[in-house]
Each structure stands twice: as structure tokens, then as C-alpha cells.
Chains A and B, each alone.
Chain A
Amino acid sequence: MGQIIKNKYLILRRLSQILILFLYFGANYFGWKILVGNLSFSKFLNTIPLTDPYAFLQMVFAGAIISADLIIGVLVILIIYGLIGGRAFCSWVCPVNMITDLAAWVRRKTNHEKDNLISTQKIKKFRYFFAATLLLISAIVGAAAFEFISPIGIFTRGVAFGIGFGWIWLFVIFLFDAFVLKNGWCGHICPLGATYSIIGAKSLIRVYHTKENCTNCGNCLTICPENQVLSPVINKKSDFINGIECTNCGRCIEVCDDNALKFSIRYLIKQKGAENEKNPTK
């Protein structure tokens, strides 16, 4: 039971990811109208459109005529993730996260977390360049280029409509993450993740760190898939994790045994949080 409470975010995230896939599956196979479509575009309760913002951008670049539904869908997504979620899409919605988390788990279990074939320092900003390049390529080839290779699309479509040979691509991502580059796909390549980083740059819900409680054990830095967002803050200052690449997955909160990390609301709750943390309940 203690384990369940301790890992509540992880469990909730998995439930959320699987529930979303299940709703897509049910929409096709049983005709449910709760969440119809897939992560490129869906209709919630048969009325509210939800559009993949990066697919939308690619379509704009490819020169498609954009329908009103798509624009509304993008606005809904921008509001949800821009205000509340940050990169929560990546850790709470995207099913590829389950694959890459599995790869990260394999890395931890086999004690080769830092064995990378590629220097993580060097490809820090690669995903943003890649996202921009694919937009240009969409314009050149006249089609949304990333949508042809997107493992997110292949995974969600695969669940709802049949996967074909798509599993190979998902397996490649697992191998890449587990043996080539730690957190390689989600943390260094995925242009959709890069897009959500930018969308959620100013989002409200963020992890808050209390320096007074921190024992500098490094648990959070080990578990974090984007630990460049933690390192400027952990054991240095009491502050929000402001790095735009934080996915709000909450793993750092779970592995912290010193109550030094928690979800909080940026801009609205400021120093007040720090005051409360001085008397930890544990």
C-alpha cells in the first residue's frame, strides 16, 4: 500500500495513458463516442476537437487548407497545455512514453545509465532543430512529413486500427533508448515533445523544490528523464523547476525521500510553499 501511495503519479500516469488508448480502441470497435480518433486529432464527447499542434503546423507548412475544426482543436490544446499542463502530454498521454520508460528501466536495472553512444551534451538542442527542419521538409514535399514516421501516431493508430509493421519502429525506439542514447527519443529527438516544451514554457503546474529539505542524495537526478531541468535547482535554491523540458511526470517527487519536491502552482503560489515545507510531516 505504501508503495502505491509513494508511486501514485506513476500509477496515475499509466492509467491515464492506457485509458486514453482504450477509449480510442473502444471508439473504433464498439462505437463509443467519448474520445474518437487518435492523438493526431480527436473529438472529445463528439463535440470538442483536439488537434495535434505539431501536425497542425506541418499542415500549414505543407500548404493545406486549414478547417475551422482544426483551428479550434489547436486552441483547445494550447489552452490546456499552455496554462495547466506544460509537457504533461509527454508523460501523461503519449503512449510512446511507456516504451521509453521501459527502456530507462532496463538501463537502471542493468546499471548502464550513462553508457551512451552519442554525447548527450552535444545533442542537447537537436530536437528543436529537427522540429524546424521537418516543418521545412513538409513544405518541400507537400505533406506533413513527421506524420509519416511518428511513432506516436503509429502507436495510437495501431491500437485503434491495427499496427501492421509499425511495431518494428516502436521496437527500434526501445533499442535506441535502452542501448544507444539514454532517453534518446523523448528527450532528444521527438519534435512533438519539443513543440510541447515551447507550448508549456509558461505553464502553471510545476514541480517545486525546497532546498532546506534536500539532502543531495541524487535520486531525482537519476530518475529524471530530462535531468538538465533539475540540475540548476536541486540543492542550489528553493524554486520551481522552470526548465521548459520538464514533463511534469512527478517521478522526482516520488523518489524523493526527504520531501524536498512537490507539485505546486507557479506564479500563484510563490514563497508560501517554501514556508510550509519547513515542518515536513514525515
Chain B
Amino acid sequence: MDNKRRSFLTSIIQASAAAVAAGSVVAGFVEENKDKPLTLRPPGALKEEEFLKTCIRCGLCVEACKNRENKVIIDGKEIETLKLAAPGDKAPIGTPYFIPRTGPCFMCDTIPCMYACPTGALTPDMCKNDKGEVSIDYAKMGVAVIDPSSCIAFWGLQCTACYRACPEMDKAITIEWRKNERTGKHAYRIPVVHEEACTGCGMCEMACVTEKPAIKIFPREVFLGKAGDRYVKGWDKKDQERVKNASINTTTQTGRSKKSAIENLNEGIQWDK
């Protein structure tokens, strides 16, 4: 009897230890695989962390995207936007993403992908403006970023391809005219991205004429900075609202700042008496 109990306990411990060992390997893989910060999500996606919890990887959004009404065919080839990540792709396995250079979001008015989502990983709540109006124009899939060193407009060449491709033309991308001092009689026509209007659809990235695009879409979390509470636009009422609840403490508290600076500097020094 005692022996039976012992072998029963042994087998339980062995099975659970094996399960924990195998599970830990899975956990390591998951941690590694889900950390793909450059993944661009469909419109209305939750924040990446929440998105990974909520997406069940069914692919209904991808199917809705593939079978949408406004199909775009270039050179006889249908441009496919959303993909479901297979192992080896640059996105967490099984989740939807798109690559703007080859398949940007064409910003369907009906947002079929978002409404196809059964879990709420894509939700109208993440695709609306301050007034609560839902529209693809309020999508925040990413933000366009320009590399001035390879953008030929910065060289003084005439381009504006991204500006003209932009579905939010004159809002998300504007053209800034600057004097070209090199020739003295020409103008630079510089594209400027305005993040608050940019949906991150990637039409600019697909349109960019350079060999490797000089304008690229990055996830907003990756590219955008945050000024924090220390800085405020004094001329902007709305921006002042933003810092209404800011802390009034302006000193950084660290282990060292418990003592005064002089005390800290003089610490441990033996003075000649």
C-alpha cells in the first residue's frame, strides 16, 4: 500500500515537473515571439499588450480585408493588405498585420476588418475622434516618418509622391516651401507629416519613389515621444488642461537626494584638524 502511494506520488510529481518544464519553454517562446514592436495592426486595434490578450487569431479581419469591395489591382495583381502572421513572419504568430510598402491599408469607409472582429481586439472605440464619431479617418495604425537623408525632396528634387498619395492630403502630409540656397532660384518642396491627422495607412510608403522608402510607417508607440508634464504650450488653453494634474514637485528624488548636495560631496572625507 505504502509503495503504491509512493509510486502514485512520484508519477504526479514527475508529470507536473515535466509539464512545468515544457510550459516554461513555451513561456519563453511566447515572451520572445510576442515582443515584435514594429508590427502594424489593422484599424481600431487595442494597445499591443491588450491586443495580444484579446486576439483569438481567427483571421476574420484578414478575410474581410481580402473580400472587401474596393479591391485595388495594380499591374494585374491584387494588392493584399492584411495578413495573418505565419511562423517566421515579423509579427506574433497568428495575429493580423500589414506591410505598407507592398500592401498598405486602403482605408475602406466601412472598415470591414474592424467590424469583423468577434473578440473586440479591433474595436470602434479605438477608431473614433473626441466627439465619439467612428470613421476610418480616426484610425491610428501608425505614423509616417520621413528620413531626410534619402528623401529626394530634401535634395531639391521635385517629388511630392507621398503628399499626393496621402488619403488625408493637406492634413496628414503638407508641403513646406523652402528656399534652395544652392541654386538661389529654386524651392525645396518638403513633405511634413502631422501625426495627429496621420492614420498610418501607409499609402505614402507604397508611393515613395526611392529604392527603399524614405517615408515609412512606424507603430505610434515606437516612434512618438512624450513631452511629459514639465513642458507646456503656454499659448494653448487645451495643452494647459493637459498638465492640470501635474505634480508640483520639480526635484527628482533619488537615493542621493535624501541628503543635501554639500553633505553628499563631503561624505567620507577626513578633514585635517
A133 touches B22 (CB 8 A): yes
Interface residue from B57, B83, B119 paired with A69 (Cβ < 8 Å): B119
CB distance from A182 to the nearest CB of B (A): 18
Whether B100 is near chain A, meaning CB under 8 Å from some CB there, is: no
A137 touches B27 (CB 8 A): yes
Bound together, the chains give a CA A132 to CA B12 distance in angstroms of: 13
A161's nearest neighbour on chain B, judged by CB, is B84
Interface residue from A37, A126, A147, A149 paired with B63 (Cβ < 8 Å): A37
Interface of B, secondary structure class, is helix
CB distance from B105 to the nearest CB of A (A): 17
In the bound complex, residues from chain A placing their C-beta under 8 Å from that of B58 are 37-38, 40-42
CB distance from B258 to the nearest CB of A (A): 35
Which of B59, B60, B67 is packed against the most chain A CB atoms within 10 Å?
B59
Q: A49-B118, A51-B56 are in contact. Are A166 and B87 (CB under 8 A)?
A: yes
Q: Which of A153-197 contact B (CB under 8 A)?
A: 153-154, 157-158, 160-166, 168-169, 189
CB distance from B123 to the nearest CB of A (A): 9
In the bound complex, residues from chain B placing their C-beta under 8 Å from that of A55 are 56-57
Q: A28-B63, A141-B34 are in contact. Are A130 and B84 (CB under 8 A)?
A: no
Whether B31 is near chain A, meaning CB under 8 Å from some CB there, is: yes
B29 touches A165 (CB 8 A): no
CB distance from B12 to the nearest CB of A (A): 8
Q: A146-B26, A161-B84 are in contact. Are A129 and B18 (CB under 8 A)?
A: yes
Whether B243 is near chain A, meaning CB under 8 Å from some CB there, is: no
Whether B273 is near chain A, meaning CB under 8 Å from some CB there, is: no
A145 touches B27 (CB 8 A): yes
Q: A70-B119, A126-B18, A161-B86 are in contact. Are A134 and B23 (CB under 8 A)?
A: yes
B86 touches A149 (CB 8 A): no
B30 touches A130 (CB 8 A): no
Bound together, the chains give a CA A153 to CA B85 distance in angstroms of: 11
5 sample A-B contacts, Cβ–Cβ < 8 Å, listed by A number: A37-B63, A51-B56, A144-B56, A161-B83, A166-B87
Known pairs A37-B63, A160-B59, A162-B84; list 14 more (Cβ under 8 Å).
Answer: A31-B66, A51-B56, A55-B56, A59-B53, A67-B118, A124-B11, A133-B22, A144-B53, A145-B27, A148-B92, A148-B94, A157-B94, A164-B88, A189-B22
